[in-house]
Amino acid sequence: MITIIPAIDIIDGKCVRLSKGDYDTKKIYNNDPLDVAKRFEDAGIKRLHMVDLDGAREKRLINYRILEKIADKTRLDIDFGGGIQSDEDLYIAFSSGAKQITAGSIAVKNRELSLSWLQKYGQERIILGADAKDGKVAVSGWQENSDYDLIPFLKDYWKLGFKYTISTNVDKDGMLVGPDFDMYRQIKEQLPNIYLIASGGISKVSDIEKLSEMKIDAVIVGKAIYENKIKLEELKPFLC
């Protein structure tokens, strides 16, 4: 059964969503991310994907106090990303209550540091963030493209010991047009044992059902919930 992971993205301490990673498209959904997190928990959700969008843009951890508050006031298992660029950032994220962190831009820009985190904290706590735009891995809050092709990049890090990965087609994110099924199919065909977390474009429950049929391990759902395209009660069959 696929695991449902709602998303909370933070700008200026508020719960927001972007379209295609464009900060100019910011839409505020709630001034209190804790309120949103509690609503997810009350619906039976166990996991939460939280992104510090200020941190992703500024390349340093910024909204860790909100992480701390949600971790303290809920029982959600939080994976946290955005702006984690140093050992200090990582220490703050874990000390603030993150169960896992997502190593995205840093995996492209500083391979040695990423691998040191994997060795120190173990593969259960470090998620590889590998988001794609035009087939290339995107970094820095999706504001830049790298020269790395997505699947070879994933294969390389899988061989080095990374077990979990979150992958988003940037052009699908926040657009409510359905996920990039072909991209996830190709990843699973070439890396069948990777724990793959799909993200971006989810617009209806049938998208989740199809990903589940494809044996995708987990899915991050964001704007579809906030825009009431998917109601929390519709997710109950996946929460058993």
Distances (CA, A) of 170 to 41, 94, 103, 134, 239: 27, 27, 17, 9, 27
**How confident is the model over 120-133, as pLDDT tens digits?**
999 999 999 998 88
What is the C-alpha separation between 165 and 188, in angstroms, rounded?
11
Q: What is the pLDDT of residues 165-183, one digit of tens each?
A: 999 998 887 788 899 999 9
pLDDT tens-place string over residues 210-231: 999 999 999 999 999 999 999 9
Give the angle 37-89-198 at the CA atoms, nearest 5°: 50
3-state DSSP assignment of residue 170: helix
pLDDT on residue 143: 60
pTM over 0.85: yes
Cα 225 versus chain centre, distance:
15
- CATH number attached to the domain at 3-238: 3.20.20.70
Extract the tokens encoding 190.
């070439």
Active site residues: 9, 131
Short-list 141, 198, 202, 197, CA closest to 175: 202
For residue 137, pLDDT over 60 is answered with: yes
Task: Place 70 in a pLDDT band, splitting at 50, 70 and 90.
Answer: very high
CA–CA separation, 8 and 60 (whole Å) = 18
- Strand pairing partners for 199? 168, 220
Contact 66, 13 (CB under 8 A): yes
- Return mean pLDDT, the chain: 94
Q: What φ, ψ does residue 24 adopt, rounded to 5°?
A: -70, -10
Strands 131-133 and 136-139: antiparallel
Domain spans of the chain?
A: 3-238
The pLDDT-based confidence of 144 (bands split at 50, 70, 90) is: low
CA distance 103 to 177: 27
141 pLDDT band, cuts 50/70/90, is: low
